[in-house]
Amino acid sequence: MSRTGAWIVTVGDELLRGEIVDSNKSFLSERLLQLDLESTRHLTVADDPEAIAEVLRDAARRARVVLVSGGLGPTRDDITTEVAAKTFGRALLRDEAALAEIRGFFERLGREMSPNNAKQADFPEGADILPNPMGTAPGFMLDVEGSLLFFMPGVPRELYRMTDEEVLPRIRARLGGRGVVRAALLRTFGMGESTLDRHVDDLVRDDPDAQLGFRTQFPDNLLRVVVRAPDEAAAETKLAALVAQVRERLGELVIGDGAQELEQIVGAMLLERGVTLATAESCSGGLLASRLTDVPGSSAYLLAGLVTYSNASKIRDLGVPAALIEAHGAVSEEVARAMADGVRRLTGAAMGVATTGVAGPGGGSEDKPVGTVCIGLSDAAGTLAFRYQLMAERWRNKQMSSHLALDWIRRRLLGLEITENSFPRLRGEEPRP
């Protein structure tokens, strides 16, 4: 059987029980893609000698590269090294240089090394030892009849550095001759995943060396652009051209590059433009202000965040006329406008943003069912508010309300139009361009 691609194996009972979220697989797959090496199988296995041995034998037989994380610690359930040695018929040997490094790690921390840490300096005969400057568990590489197996600690920060500094260079040197892969990530908001795909799929339909991938990260959709080329310069040029085409096709639905969250994108824009902001929240319950303050340095632009949940607080704190609430209800465009005006006036901020709605699961009516949300914005250019019909789930309504408000700020700062039709997903139609 010919070996193809890469297998990624994570070891640990805690992963199978769901006690720890396994982020190592996605990290390793992404890193392998840079070498034009596809991960063809992801496996998680318990701390069981027979189960680990079975997976290692199968992986060495079928994959060109095998990345294994976990089970290199000092405790009795850390058995990956011993099992690997036994599986491939190799003696387990202690490496004195590695042991000295482990002792040095504890000395630098001013701590005494426990005797059981010494087992972390034991490796299968013939292993290539991978230093770990971030912890006490060195990794190692085994060449099993041409299949390269890399064993790394499960702690993400240790694995990340070992992968970049020790593992990828060895894979590149051993496999060689492969093309260069480059990727970019675009964050979009306002259009469903399937419709996004229909809008841009023709851009890569006839190019086997270009791919577009989609991943939902509610309420956004992430679009990954991947290209392959013979060399780095060609890959960078091709990636830039394809990203430009995608941006042109999707226009204002692209809210940013990379993994930056919307609150980070908006915060940078407010800071750059010197615009101050205040928020008045009802249905989002302070989530908008919380997200804004998740960004370091947000005190430079966020002056205040008020949660005016009751009608009385809207009247008392924001100066919303009681007659306005009586005539239109607290969940209305009229009240959203008054809230945005009120918080701007109260705080002296350049921009005021407000949310009011029916988050659910109760409180809805025929005219204003659960998921009815009104967003308001006030600045020197004027005041506006629009109504949207969102979802039936409380948590999602709160998330989407805060997200809409953030995107309103983004649009206002960019001079983009804000209407009830700004978001194809929310108006119930997502036509082809």
pLDDT per position as a tens digit, 341-383 = 999 999 999 999 999 999 999 998 999 999 999 999 999 999 9
Dihedral pair phi/psi, residue 149, rounded to 5° = -110, 125
pLDDT over threshold 80, residue 432: no
Euclidean distance between CA atoms 181 and 106, whole angstroms: 40
What pLDDT was estimated at residue 431? 40
Show Cβ contacts of residue 78 under 8 Å, excluding neighbours closer than 6 positions.
47, 71, 72, 119
- Segment 241-263 shows an average pLDDT of 93
Bridge partners, 357 (sequence order): 373
What pLDDT was estimated at residue 426? 65
The strand ranges marked E within 105-154 are: 122-124, 128-130, 139-144, 147-152
What pLDDT was estimated at residue 178? 64
- Segment 6-26 shows an average pLDDT of 94
Euclidean distance between CA atoms 25 and 188, whole angstroms: 24
In the chain, domain spans: 6-175, 180-257, 262-414
Q: Is 180-257 CATH 3.40.50.2300?
A: no
Dump pLDDT digits (tens) for 188-242.
998 888 889 999 999 999 999 999 988 888 899 999 999 989 888 999 999 999 9
Q: At 37, which amino acid appears?
A: L
Closest CA to 275 of 303, 247, 297, 250: 303
What pLDDT was estimated at residue 328? 97
Domain 180-257 identical in fold to domain 262-414: no
CB contact burial 73-82 (16+ within 10 A = b; e otherwise) = bbeeebbbbb
Q: Which of 10-14, 153-157, 391-395, 427-431 has the lowest mean pLDDT?
A: 427-431
Show Cβ contacts of residue 275 under 8 Å, excluding neighbours closer than 6 positions.
269, 301, 350, 351, 413
* CATH number for the domain formed by residue range(s) 6-175: 3.40.980.10
Q: Give the other-Cβ count within 10 Å of 106's Cβ.
A: 14
Euclidean distance between CA atoms 414 and 27, whole angstroms: 34
More confident residue, 387 or 36: 387
- Segment 263-290 shows an average pLDDT of 98
pLDDT over threshold 70, residue 305: yes
Highest mean pLDDT out of 21-25, 26-30, 321-325: 321-325
Dihedral pair phi/psi, residue 4, rounded to 5° = -140, 145
E strand or H helix that includes residue 349:
none
Closest CA to 139 of 69, 233, 199, 50: 69
Confidence band for 177, pLDDT divided at 50, 70 and 90: low
pLDDT over threshold 60, residue 429: no
Confidence band for 37, pLDDT divided at 50, 70 and 90: confident
User: Residue 281: helix, strand or coil by DSSP?
Assistant: strand
Q: Which of 15-29, 172-186, 235-249 has the lowest mean pLDDT?
A: 172-186
Confidence band for 30, pLDDT divided at 50, 70 and 90: confident
What pLDDT was estimated at residue 36? 80
Euclidean distance between CA atoms 291 and 406, whole angstroms: 9
Q: Is 262-414 CATH 3.90.950.20?
A: yes
Euclidean distance between CA atoms 225 and 209, whole angstroms: 11
Angstrom CA distances, 202 to 206, 207, 241, 246, 249, stand at 8, 10, 15, 10, 11
Q: How far apart are the first and last CA of the chain?
A: 47
Confidence band for 424, pLDDT divided at 50, 70 and 90: low
Dump pLDDT digits (tens) for 109-161.
899 999 999 999 999 999 999 999 999 999 999 999 999 999 999 999 999 99
Q: What is the mean pLDDT of the chain?
A: 93
Q: What percent of the chain is predicted at pLDDT more than 70? A: 97
User: Residue 427: helix, strand or coil by DSSP?
Assistant: coil
